[in-house]
Structure 1
Amino acid sequence: MDRATFIKFRNLIYEQSGINIEEKKETLLVSRICKRMRALGIELDDFKTYYKYLMEDKQGREIVELIDAVSTNVTHFFREPQHFDFLSIKVDEWLKQGKRKFRLWCAACSTGEEPYTVAMIMHERCSQYQSVDCKILATDICTKVLKKGEEAEYEEDKLDSVPLKYRQKYFKRIGKNGATKKVYGIIEPIKKMVTFARLNLATPPFPMSGPFDVIFIRNVMIYFDNAVRSALLNDAYRLMAKGGLLFVGHSESLAGLLNTELKRILPSVYTKE
């Protein structure tokens, strides 16, 4: 791929998703683009024809497919478990104070492991109380991972990070994938707590009305530049309830990006004062 064509693709992906592809990632980008070109029957060295195809696709279906191919989706249940320990403590406090309505948002939900972890935690904390209304919004830009999340079916090795008591309580075996691997499904009461929707985090303001008591924006801002990060955080702040929590990935620095009214209370955990 010549430099001018690489820059065209990089700019298009940035405009459509906020994903900032550095020059050192050119080889990775080319391999992802070739995946789409193979699917369409376009010659693998004819990148300009594929770009023209993208530009002429008035319904925008192919740009969605390209963003799906470019997106990195690494996740697992109970990832960064300290966050869920703190969430449990905070939810217990809220419940004891009489709070019975909870709204949570997992902003980059991938294949659903994060929102279902949140749902299991919330169910565990809230089940001893009556009339608790808890809903979790799970969003991602990638349509394929959203479909997987809605299916809520996971091969046995995906459950390795799930504590045994949660595995026994919130999963049921539903069959085998192929000849060997066992498949487990999330039980219906947990599935019903989570709503999946496509959302581009690079295009605030977002359509949700909020307020959210808890927002997870974890391990996604590393793919954005500071302009996109700042806009995303500002709109997340707008959507947070007073006293609400924001969780970000442990490897993500928010230095210079934070609204002054967001207070850091733990590493990678913030609250709205």
Structure 2
Amino acid sequence: MKILMFSSTFPYPPTQGGTQVRTWNLLKYLSSHHYVILGTLRSPDVTDAAIDELRQHVAELAVFPHPLAPPQPRAGLFRGNHGEIAPTENQGFVGAMPPYPPSTEGGLNRILGKVHRFNQFVLSGTPPNVISSYSPAMQHWADELVAFGKCDVVTSEHSVNEIYVRPEWREKVLTVANIHSSVWGTCRQMLATGTSEKPLRDRLNLPLLARYEKRYCSKFSRIVATTETDRQQLLELLSPADSRRGGAPVPAPPCP
């Protein structure tokens, strides 16, 4: 089976926290049983040696510049497993919002930046951190793979990568969201336990996160939760008709 995997977090070496460790462990397991095509982003701390090592663990690897990273000497290029070079210029994304302006330290500009990001969240329905790490180049690459039938399954590692998975793909392939943790459930838990660093912001964001999580979950054939707590949070959030998605199989259209 050919699996197209999205991971905006570069998964190797697995030393940068839970998301990276979980992604790496799953990647190793899947690669030992299936043909894995990985699309990931390169941040400034990712070395060429790390890319070369990661390439040994997947069938195909495409590495794209991280949208928030400073320009590199070879910006706009990525090298695939077989040495090919492909352009990564902005190919556009239907429905994507304009980039968020950077916040400046203090003063009116900082306040305006926060207001702008919140307004964009309200209008687009997608959190600012998801938009800011979105790579149009990786989207274009994935669109072509799916269009030409190069994969049987598409998986999003962590909910931030859901943005790359188009709803209509369910008609062609099995789509899986490996959520890692519920953004709505995490926010609600921090508010309930008094551990939120910015409670006012999180109270405003909570209903928006609920709307966002319901929307993106609805476009996947399967939803995978990491822990029983995450599973229960997702079961609570999703409508009764969709509550089966919190870790249990959901019927999907047959793959051609």
TM-score range, shorter chain: 0.3 to 0.5
* Structure whose residues are more often strand by fraction: 1
Q: Is the radius of gyration larger for structure 1 or structure 2?
A: 1
Report the TM-score when normalising by structure 2.
Answer: 0.35
TM-score between the two structures when normalised by the length of structure 1: 0.33
